Amino acid sequence: MIAIINYGVGNLFSLESSFNAINQDVRVITNPDDLKNYDRIILPGVGAFEDAAKKLFASGMAGPLIEAAHSGKPVLGICLGMQLLFTASYEFGLHKGLDLIPGSVRAISEVIPEGLKIPQMGWNALNLAGHDGIFKNTPDYSHVYFVHSYYAVCDEKFITARTEYGADLTAAVQNKNIYGVQFHPEKSGSAGLDILRAFCEV
Amino acid sequence: MITKRIIPCLDVRNGRVVKGVNFQGLNDVNSPVELAKFYSDNGADELVFYDITASSDGRKIFTDILRETARNVFIPLTVGGGISSVKDFERVLSCGADKVSVNTGAINNPGLIPEAARLYGSQCVVISADVKKVGGAFHVFARGGRDDTNIEAVSWIKRCVDNGAGEVVLNSIDTDGVKKGFDLEMLKAVCDVVNVPVVASGGAGCIEDFITLFKTLPRVDAGLAASIFHFGEVSIRDLKQRMHDENILARL
């Protein structure tokens, strides 16, 4: 069974619906004690890093989530949820993340040419490092839906997909059982559902 | 690189999709949930639901339909119509909307956009402007294009973006329903002053109109239309294939 962590950031209705659409048993959970009863965990998130990190730590979810990740349970961070998996973010100051993947989160404005719109909002193609893990059902150059102004900077070995927006931006990461996607699989049509389906099978 | 988006707009009243020509003479077209599913399966990049109901009963029917759509359709959903407070934002976001567009609400309450952007993020706040050329100047119109506010449109839209709107839907009243192409002059004026996505609305009559739009104004991010899609005059698949053939980036 899949847990979607609710720590008061953003609406989870679409995410929950997308797992229902692929016939997966899913629950939105608010009680940190419940996390141990699930075998897969989704960390969602929208908005600003600092606010979300504060809420995640204050919710009491961070400890059990880190524990579950270390125990080998598959974890998938989505959008800001992916950014929270990293060591730190440079969004409006320096803020600590969960440190489940070594690396940091930086503004795309530092690397994309001037004139390109920020946030990157819309459908962009995935350049995959391989066809395994959450991308085992995904053809190269599949389009997925992005909305973001920050991106992850980390060791090459963690990057499983990139997308080109004036620069090569990190689109997906993996550190063993810990997965992250910068885009929104729950808003990426059938390509997105394929990725969620694959996550349920890792 | 990011693709140009094609967005069908569904005007919903009393649970049914309607489309007016120049905002008048509405025809019942189809069930919103069915139509949304059809578009999502056939290449739409995003959907706009516009609630044109005035009554509170109608609002309830609308949010039920929105929830049912979000349960079945997995592409971004923008919702507009009757958004005048952050409570309205909350109401539609909790039913599965990803972005909320404000129009008359932002004219009546200049604090709405900054407050919504602070609460939900700029990516979620869309300024939808109904604009018409009046005596050589672009004016913002309120109440579904009925009232001239005498507000100069381009600087007003820029101010909305500076205050936190993360996307602009620019609907030209002059070209809406005329089917002779988008209002390129008006769109250029807005694209020149904002650095957030701009969605062109009003005037599409055929595939060629979208090609002209994206070739003439590369800074336009998306094209929105209603009746030409609802009545099958333009198929989104054919449109996107044509965009691809013309080297305009499209999600096929």
Q: If 0-12 CB within 10 Å is exposed, 13-18 middle and 19+ buried, where does residue A1 land?
A: exposed
pLDDT in tens, B58-82: 788 899 999 999 999 999 999 999 8
Domain housing B118 = 5-245
Which of B74, B95, B119, B196 best tests the A interface by mutation, with the highest count of A CBs <10 A? B74
pLDDT classification of B23: cutoffs 50, 70, 90:
very low
**Digit-coded pLDDT (tens) for A92-144:** 899 999 999 999 999 999 999 998 999 999 999 999 999 999 999 999 999 99
How far apart (Å, rounded) are the C-alpha atoms in residues B33 and A21? 15
CATH number at residue A162: 3.40.50.880
Minimal Cβ distance to A120: which of B2, B70, B95: B2
- Whether B72 is covered by a domain: the verdict is yes
Cα separation, B164 vs A53, in Å, equals 22
Give the C-alpha separation, B218 to B246, whole Å.
13
| Helical spans, DSSP H, in chain B | 32-41, 56-72, 86-93, 104-108, 112-120, 153-162, 184-191, 207-216, 227-230, 236-245
Q: Which amino acid is at A36?
A: K
Residue with tokens 């929208």: A46
Single-letter residue type at A151: Y
Using 50, 70 and 90 to split pLDDT, how confident is the model at B15? confident
CATH of residue B104: 3.20.20.70
Among B74, B93, B221, beta carbon nearest to A193: B74
Of residues B230 and A28, which shows the higher confidence score? A28
Handedness of CA B87, A19, B43, A125 (dihedral sign): positive
Q: What is the distance in angstroms between the Cα of B24 and the nearest Cα belonging to chain A?
A: 32
CA-based nearest distance B223→chain A, Å: 13
Q: Residues 4-63, chain A: which have Cβ within 8 Å of B? A: 11, 13-14, 17-18, 20-21, 46-48
Interface subset of A 129-188, CB within 8 angstroms of B: 143, 145-147, 164-166, 186-188
Range of the domain at A177: 2-199
Residues of B within 8 A of A164 (CB-CB) are 1
Residue of B nearest to A22 (CA): B72
Q: Categorize the per-residue pLDDT at B53 as very low, low, confident or very high, splitting at 50, 70 and 90.
A: confident
Neighboring chain B residues of A6 at a CB cutoff of 8 Å: none
Distance CA B197, CA B213 (A): 14
Chain A residues close to B251, C-beta within 8 Å = 123, 143
Q: Are A91 and A84 in contact (CB under 8 A)?
A: no
Model ipTM value: 0.93
pTM: 0.94
pLDDT of residue B18: 82
Count how many domains chain A has. Answer: 1
Predicted pLDDT of residue B54: 65
**Number of compact structural domains in chain B:** 1
* Residue in B2, B5, B68 to test binding to A, most A beta-carbons within 10 Å: B2
